Chains A and B, each alone.
Chain A
């Protein structure tokens, strides 16, 4: 039997063991759960986006890209948006 055939057999046995062994081992730690996995997912996403929008707005304002008037108006709108989302999350039993 040539070296190539022996190496091929070893490789295939290793492949079978390596891939299938998790199915016969004791329970292992699960993969990560995303906070967005559950029913609150879209709300949590919306919250994250709205908070990021406020962060961007503040950064843009501090860099002089927005007038005071535009900043105040946009911040008010975004703040009320966040408040509404947080209320929604609390109503659905989540932690705002």
Chain B
């Protein structure tokens, strides 16, 4: 199976190379015959299939405990449950690179499968640029981080080292693949953009196609980031979900630039403006995904998530430079076609708000990037590595995020082209007054800190603008259908006709819920440390905790000490739940981890960590966090992902024909 996996990888590499060169030759030639395009299309699909077989071969080696292979020996052992043997495929650098190769190739194959409906002028270049991403990652996997290398040992090892205990968590089955799907999905818009530039086919077609593929990548990335936050919340035991860790930031950076693109692309589709800006955003997004991979694998920054320091960082820098140079060269070559067709007419227009939104998103992006790279810069300049922590990121980004929430409320409610001031006042009067009332009510309720009050009231402002949009949409729908009265059919028709728009509102609604949850967890979190003997109690917030007993467990993979703690409301003796935080000692890895005990509630989470047991074994040191509205963060994220799916679903071709308003408008003018 080792030979088969290795050989599949070789075939994938050769095919990817052939498609990169073939696509370039066919794309730049005068005749792009159907046979040549079909051959390239099949090549692109086959790269994914061969990488898939290679990945399956690696999985087989893990499941069958083949410790002749170095990677399998390093990241698994016989006692690990089979699910962790599967997740161990991406538990280390070599396997994660292979998974990456497969996913980028799989996205390329999906594009290839749909490519018959894409403009033929760009498809050859499209295959070439898609496969160039696969080629780069496959080159690294094949020549530098090959997971099929044999272990250099005179005897076959009876057992492996085992997976890092922190990664032995069910979220690791879904979080990394989801994040990688996001990263690799964003290679598709880049390929479309480069193909359009290379072929000179700069019409609206490519930008329309790119928007949908960006949405797909963005939705996966959103899910991946939030799942990572959930994993950190459950596994790392510090009571939070986001620590502005360099690797967390690395996934957040392309999310920010992709979000900016998803807004500015609408301006290009409608107005023919921001063409260069959109190319910049697409290239930046892809470059940031590569940069993120570089960060995790080069060892230049310290992180709980980072893979061990390796010497492949330079390859990413070379590839990153190539991406930027090619994009810059093609943009300069096509500069005539990239001239804007018109300018922004008024500051009070949706396009102006979208541009502002882009500037805020990129400011956040720059601030985060600066924070991530500061240790590297400081070491280069002063010789001392200095890091910036959570206070820096919060101080810079909180005001910017609040500005973004404000713009999120304003954007959809303002007209394209231009709006008059009286019209704006009429549109925003109710949301503004409601937000003001919320702010006053919060102050009277004892919430007096500036940022939380602003965050809550801006979230309410955003919610009111969304509701206002739906209400105005329904009113307009009544006018269109001439029914004059409201009925559920109005809502269905509105949803069908404006699905993308209302899908975006669903995403915005998710963001607002997350904003409230994040604000609550930042501003009103309670954190306490205490020591208890069995029978003793400790009070925190509106709860009391009583230590009942200790319990020891021996499992195949680890041994554990558990503390059984009864949670009660302060006002009652009735137990709400018995929380069981534990400390685990993984024998193979010789590592100790903490397993959090969590009581999730709509109002707050009670999060209990067993920090240690004293030498006599009679007292436990514990840490408790009461995190208000925490569960709403996950609800908000789910709503965002659902919104992303709603927007990304393609419009049925028949519906496009039926809804060809353009033709009616054309006749009327």
A residues within 8 Å of B by Cβ?
2-5, 7-8, 11-12, 15, 18-20, 22-23, 25, 27-34, 36-37, 41-42, 44-49, 51-57, 59-60, 62-67, 70, 74, 78-79, 82-83, 86, 96
Contacts and interface: CB of A to CB of B under 8 A. Distances in A.
A74 B418 CA distance: 9
Given A53-B271, A63-B472, A12 B39 contact: no
B473 A63 contact: yes
A17 B174 CA distance: 36
Interface in B493-546: none
Which of A33, A34, A82 has the largest number of chain B CB atoms within 10 A? A34
Contact of B46 (A2, A18, A56, A83): A18
Nearest to A83: B669
A18 B36 CA distance: 13
A50 to B, nearest CB: 9
Interface in B118-132: 118-121, 123
Contacts of A46: 272, 341
A27 B422 contact: no
Interface of B: 1-4, 7-8, 11, 15, 18, 34-39, 42-43, 46, 50, 53, 115-121, 123, 201, 203-205, 269-272, 341, 413-420, 422-423, 426-427, 469, 472-473, 475-476, 479-480, 661-662, 665-666, 669
B423 A31 contact: no
Contact of B123 (A8, A31, A64): A31
Contact of A8 (B4, B416, B473): B4
B39 A22 contact: yes
Contact of A31 (B37, B270, B418, B420): B37
Given A28-B38, A57-B417, A67-B422, A11 B119 contact: no
Contacts of B3: 2, 4-5, 8
B42 A36 contact: no
B53 A49 contact: no
A39 B46 CA distance: 35
B42 A64 contact: no
A23 B475 CA distance: 58
B15 A28 contact: no
B270 A56 contact: yes
A35 to B, nearest CB: 8
A36 B39 contact: no
A12 to B, nearest CB: 6
A11 B419 CA distance: 62
B131 to A, nearest CB: 12
Given A53-B417, A65-B419, A29 B34 contact: yes
Given A4-B1, A22-B42, A82 B666 contact: yes
A23 B35 contact: yes
Given A27-B34, A49-B204, A66-B415, A32 B117 contact: yes
Given A46-B272, A62-B479, 15 more contacts: A5-B7, A11-B4, A19-B46, A20-B39, A31-B119, A31-B123, A51-B661, A53-B416, A63-B475, A63-B476, A64-B426, A65-B423, A67-B420, A74-B417, A83-B669
A82 B50 CA distance: 51
B7 A11 contact: yes
Given A23-B39, A63-B472, A49 B419 contact: no
Contact of A37 (B35, B201, B413, B480): B201
A64 B204 contact: no
Given A4-B2, A54-B665, A70-B418, A27 B121 contact: no
Nearest to A20: B39
B221 to A, nearest CB: 28
Contacts of B269: 49, 52
A23 B36 contact: yes
Contacts of B7: 4-5, 7-8, 11-12
Contacts of A33: 119-120
A56 to B, nearest CB: 5
5 contacts: A4-B3, A8-B8, A19-B43, A36-B203, A47-B666
A85 to B, nearest CB: 10
Contacts of B43: 19
Nearest to B472: A63
Contact of A66 (B2, B423, B666): B423
Contact of B205 (A3, A34, A57): A34
A37 B119 contact: yes
Contacts of B50: 11, 15
A28 B666 contact: no
Contacts of B661: 51, 55
| Residue among B34, B201, B475 with max Cβ neighbours from chain A (10 Å) | B34
A86 B46 CA distance: 45
A34 B665 CA distance: 22
Nearest to B272: A49
Contacts of B415: 57, 60, 65-66, 70
Contacts of A20: 39
A37 B196 CA distance: 11
A18 B11 CA distance: 13
Contact of B118 (A7, A32, A57): A32
Contacts of B469: 63
A49 B475 CA distance: 26
Contact of A4 (B4, B37, B121, B479): B4
A70 B346 CA distance: 12
The 10 A-B residue pairs with the shortest CB-CB distance in the complex, in nearest-first order: A36-B203, A34-B119, A4-B3, A8-B7, A31-B120, A62-B476, A22-B38, A60-B415, A51-B662, A65-B415
Contact of B203 (A29, A34, A51): A34
B15 A19 contact: yes
A22 B116 CA distance: 15
Nearest to A53: B270
A62 B476 CA distance: 5
A12 B119 contact: no
A79 to B, nearest CB: 4
Contacts of B271: 49, 53
B118 A31 contact: yes
B666 to A, nearest CB: 6
A18 to B, nearest CB: 5
Contacts of A83: 669
A36 B11 contact: no
Nearest to B478: A62
Contact of B11 (A11, A41, A53): A11
Given A4-B1, A11-B50, A11-B53, A32 B341 contact: no
Given A11-B7, A19-B42, A70 B423 contact: yes
Nearest to A54: B665
Contact of B34 (A28, A59, A78): A28
